[in-house]
Structure 1
Amino acid sequence: MTTVAAQPDVRGSRRSGLLLGVAFMAGLDEIVFHQVLGWHHFYDHSTSAIGLLSDGLLHAAELMAIVAGIFLLADLLRARTFATAFFWAGLFLGLGSFQLFDGLINHKVFQLHQIRYNVMLPPYDVVWNVVGFLLLVIGAGMYRRASQTTLSP
């Protein structure tokens, strides 16, 4: 008796990578810039206690996203439908999406916090957003390459 190979789950693999990418970048931001360097809190327009609370809520959301992403990944692996290239593309898209959303929306539109205070801010903003954009470009390129490989005969 032969078994039919399961079709790779492109959407699920991409979704798992995207969720983990967003969560990893949120975690990196929260641990490095909020805790280790102490440059800012997620919400800086109140007391230190509120700043710490907002960091804790961000950390909790990031951990829930990591758990959800791992459950999605485990399900794909169990079903043998994991599409590696789409996962990696999703991961980089998630990393870049969080970085750019944080840099443009949280920092500039909502003004929840700045990257760093009491410094000349534009260089920090440029580096922050360029890194996010580059991660998105890498993810988009990986996704395009994976799509072309998958669609090729």
Structure 2
Amino acid sequence: MNNQTLSNNNSKYTLRTVYSSRNLWSGILFGLGLVAFFDETVFHQLLRWHHFYDKSTTDIGLISDGLFHAFSWFATIGGLFMLADLRRRNALWLKRWWGGVLLGAGVFQLYDGIVQHKLMRLHQIRYVENVIIYDLVWNIIAIVMVVAGVILLYQTRHDQQTGGTISHEQ
């Protein structure tokens, strides 16, 4: 390695370290928005299993879906703007960003499955007699995403603490 290459690698490492939390938050926002968008599009619109708020009329349910859809787009677009800024600054830490995506998506899905479905009873995944199967699949997928995200974030934190080389692919 020549001195210029070493200097560039150290510069990228420093930028990614400085922007570590921005990489994380960009991923979290994008993941949260992406899974919310998927939920709203597939389960609310295409399958019509439920609305965001099912304790009122269909009109109120549709309005609540629209607000939920707007929220998901704001989160997705906000995360993508942050991602573009990180790329522009040459500070994108892709492995950390994907960890944030999985963590944000999983936490949102777990919150939806436990708090909104069971505690607040805003809606159920599907109105059938044996809803527990849907709940288990929904929440297990969420837990898998959270665990995968935490593993990736732990690896990037370990890389950061040990001063390991951070490539663009990571």
Tell me which interval the TM-score lies in, with the shorter structure as reference length: over 0.9
Alignment partner of 1:113 is 2:113? no
Q: Residue 40 of structure 1: which of 46, 50, 59 is its match?
A: 50
**Which amino acid letter does the alignment assign opposite residue 92 of structure 1?**
L
Q: Provide the secondary structure at the position in 2 that maps to 1:89.
A: helix
Alpha-carbon distance between aligned partners in 1 of 2:139 and 2:146, rounded to the nearest angstrom: 11
Residues paired across the two proteins, number: 153
User: Kindly, what percent of the aligned residue pairs are identical?
Assistant: 41
Who is 1:90 aligned against?
100
Q: Give every structure 1 segment of 4 or more consecutive aligned residues whose post-TM-superposition deviation is greater than 3 Å.
A: 1-4
Who is 1:28 aligned against?
38
CA drift at 1:84: 1.2
- Structure 2: 5+ residue runs without aligned partners? 164-170
Q: Structure 2 length normalisation: TM-score?
A: 0.85
1:38-77 to 2 correspondences below 5 Å? 38-77=48-87
1:6-47: CA deviation from partner (whole Å, max 9, x where unpaired): 521110001000000000000010001001111000000101
Alignment partner of 1:81 is 2:91? yes
Who is 1:14 aligned against?
24
- Structure 1: 5+ residue runs without aligned partners? none
Q: Provide the secondary structure at the position in 2 that maps to 1:144.
A: helix
Q: Structure 1 length normalisation: TM-score?
A: 0.95
**RMSD after superposition:** 1.6
**Which amino acid letter does the alignment assign opposite residue 32 of structure 1?**
V
**Which amino acid letter does the alignment assign opposite residue 106 of structure 1?**
Q
**Which amino acid letter does the alignment assign opposite residue 116 of structure 2?**
N
